[in-house]
Structure 1
Amino acid sequence: MTKVAWNTKELTVGQLAERSGVAVSALHFYEAKGLIKSRRTAGNQRRYTRDSLRRVAFIRLSQRIGIPLKTIKDALSQLPDERTPTREDWARLSAAWRGELDERIEQLLRLRDDLTDCIGCGCLSLESCPVANPHDQLGEEGPGARRLDTRLCVTQSVCVPAS
């Protein structure tokens, strides 16, 4: 790993990628989506302020727990530019997501507990399936599950049956 001097005010895209463990292409994507910012040098090279390291870490953690990029962008827009966010800044942002995360945890626990009976995939073959479809009556409406409550979706591809 290339050592960057502690008093370096700006990082190149390569340095930011190396320090954050995020691919350069991902950093370019984050920048295109407005999640991080850079300035351009006279030679048109990107330069990121050091606070970008914390922002990238926040983005990665938020993505890992399933927070959509739009929500992450909205949260980051509440932080001051070119200043490392404080503990209070992060506490304020994370508090806003606590209810949503608690709901996701509850959904995942329900999914785990109901996994052997039905995973809400639209299989329509298990006798105890709450979205049962005798004689495939819903098949006439097209492919995919038809009786899922989308509010209970953990992700776009994993939904749990309504209780």
Structure 2
Amino acid sequence: MSTDSSLPPAQLAARSGLSIPTLHYYEREGLIRSVRTAGNQRRYARETLRRLAFIRAAVRLGVPLADIRAALDTLPEGRTPTPADWANLSARWRVRLDEQIAALQRLRDDLSGCIACGCLSLETCALHNPDDGYAREHPGGNKLS
């Protein structure tokens, strides 16, 4: 990476909308890379902007950074993701997102029922004891003392 086409942290932060500490954190986590100048200052390739856009989009989907790093590690030689890469990788995350949406919809629906009921029973309430999970975890009942 030549220094004339690279960006110092302040410029990368301004252009990406991320803070400098976030850039340094992403670098420590292996999501982005920098090189050091003769004066030991960080410089980032301009392509890092696309990589950061990819990371931000994935984070907004709720993808953990470890999963984002694993996805980026599948690219040849740490290449910046292309639109085709995004389509491929995001398709994997779509299943998880659909599951999260379904779980949130069930929670919302249970909440509506709970508001109408008002019981807040620890035995039968779908919010406090979804799918009677307490009975599965504690067979034979339990007495509060």
TM-score of the aligned structures, taking structure 2 as reference length: 0.74
Unpaired runs of 5+ residues, structure 2, are: 137-145
The answer as to 2:105 corresponding to 1:109 is yes
User: Residue by residue, what CA displacement relative to the aligned partner does 1:11-59 show, whole Å, maximum 9, x if unpaired?
Assistant: 1111110000000000000001111111111111111111111111111
Which residue is 1:61 aligned to? 57
- Please give the root-mean-square deviation of Cα atoms over the aligned residues, in Å: 2.5
Q: Percent identity?
A: 55
**Which range moves more in the overlay, 30-39 or 109-118?**
109-118
Q: Considering fraction of residues, name the structure with more helix.
A: 2
Shift of 1:85: 2.5
How many Å separate the matches in 2 of 1:33 and 1:83? 16
Extract structure 1 runs of 4+ deviating beyond 4 A.
none
Shift of 1:101: 1.1
Which residue is 1:143 aligned to? none
- Note if contact 1:38-1:48 (Cα within 8 Å) is conserved in structure 2: yes
Unpaired runs of 5+ residues, structure 1, are: 1-7, 119-124, 134-145, 150-163
Which residue is 1:42 aligned to? 38
Which residue is 2:7 aligned to? 11
The answer as to 2:105 corresponding to 1:126 is no
- Note if contact 2:110-2:126 (Cα within 8 Å) is conserved in structure 1: no
How many Å separate the matches in 2 of 1:36 and 1:62? 14
Equivalenced residues, count: 124
